[in-house]
Amino acid sequence: MEKKILIFTDLDGTLLDYHTYSFKPALSALKELKKRKIPLIICTSKTRAEIEIYQKKLENHHPFISENGGAIFLPEDYLKKTSLGLKKCECIKRKDGYKVKELGTPYNILREKLFEITEKFSQKVKGFGDMSVKEIKKNYGLNSKEATLAKKREYDEPFYFVTSPDEDTLKRIQEKFYKIGLNMVKGGRLFHLTGGNDKGKATKILKKMYEKEWETKIKSIGLGDSLNDLPMLSEVDFPVLVKLHNGRYEEKIIKKLNPFLAKGIGAKGWNEAIIKILERIDEDEK
């Protein structure tokens, strides 16, 4: 019986180049995944609207996880056996051709709590909800359409500190958010405020859905580059840490896990890691 494999991947700085958002260096590995019919699950801080663009560019028709685990989106006709068990499940919504498993806190509540908590520490922050499309386009290398889609947030608020809190203050702010059921995590470019959801919880749920559908245990590979990827990497069999755009690794992840360290930066490292791990799985199966 052929071993069933799942790939979970971050986008920015991982499958996509940090500066150009290109996945061209990963084309050979992507081609191999399609050849083997291995599902590629995008798991990112990006919005559903943003992910849909990359789903089309990648010709990828598998489920995806948006906004740091805020929701799992499954195409309506996907995982048919599992769907039978979801029909009566109140936690599954039908929306725009998807079955949606929502895990996150509504965006308006996140915005309210973001300012409420940071002001208690005399800190000033600015989130995507405060930025114009022009500002997002200028600061984060997106075009007008991409910047517009990035503002269509449902479960996650990216933000930065206008002030410069020290590490101790950041820790205390994180703890305060945690006490009210929210998470503040550091991504590749910005901080993110989410509900009790994270990439790991969503990854775990989706893995179970596939195991039920396929009626077998699976081998899972996860690829990321920054701290908000740690929960996802903790839930897979083969965690892969891709180099940051500065050529370094996120040391805090190395201390927590024993990940496969991709030699290249971004998509180049992604490509190399996928090929090597697939070869390792093939050897183990012989």
Give tens-digit pLDDT for 112-159.
Answer: 999 999 999 999 999 999 999 999 999 988 899 999 999 999 999 999
Tell me the C-alpha distance between 136 and 86, whole Å. 38
Tell me the C-alpha distance between 235 and 222, whole Å. 8
Q: How confident is the model at residue 78 (pLDDT cuts 50, 70, 90)?
A: confident
State mean pLDDT over 151-173.
95
- Average pLDDT over the chain reads 92
Please tell me the least confidently modeled range out of 1-5, 71-75, 81-85, 267-271. Answer: 81-85
Residue 86 pLDDT exceeds 70? no
Q: How confident is the model at residue 83 (pLDDT cuts 50, 70, 90)?
A: low
Give tens-digit pLDDT for 175-220.
Answer: 999 999 999 988 878 999 999 999 999 999 999 999 988 988 899 9
Tell me the C-alpha distance between 26 and 242, whole Å. 13
Residue 98 pLDDT exceeds 50? yes
State mean pLDDT over 257-267.
94
Look at residue 72 in the predicted model and tell me its pLDDT: 95
Higher pLDDT, 234 or 189: 234
In terms of DSSP H, where are the helices of the chain?
A: 27-36, 48-58, 80-86, 107-120, 133-140, 144-150, 167-179, 199-214, 230-233, 251-256, 266-285
Tell me the C-alpha distance between 109 and 271, whole Å. 38
End-to-end CA distance of the chain: 12
Look at residue 1 in the predicted model and tell me its pLDDT: 42
Residue 165 pLDDT exceeds 80? yes
**Domains of the chain, earliest start first:** 5-104+198-285 (3.40.50.1000), 107-194 (3.30.980.20)
Specify whether 10 is catalytic. Answer: yes
Which amino acid would we find at residue 23? F
Q: What are the DSSP calls for 228-272, one per residue?
A: GGHHHHTTSSEEEEEEPTTS---HHHHHH---EEEEEEHHHHHHH
Look at residue 148 in the predicted model and tell me its pLDDT: 95
Q: Could you identify the residue written with the tokens 């965690």?
A: 239
Q: Are 182 and 195 spatial neighbours (Cβ–Cβ below 8 Å)? A: yes
Q: How confident is the model at residue 234 (pLDDT cuts 50, 70, 90)?
A: very high
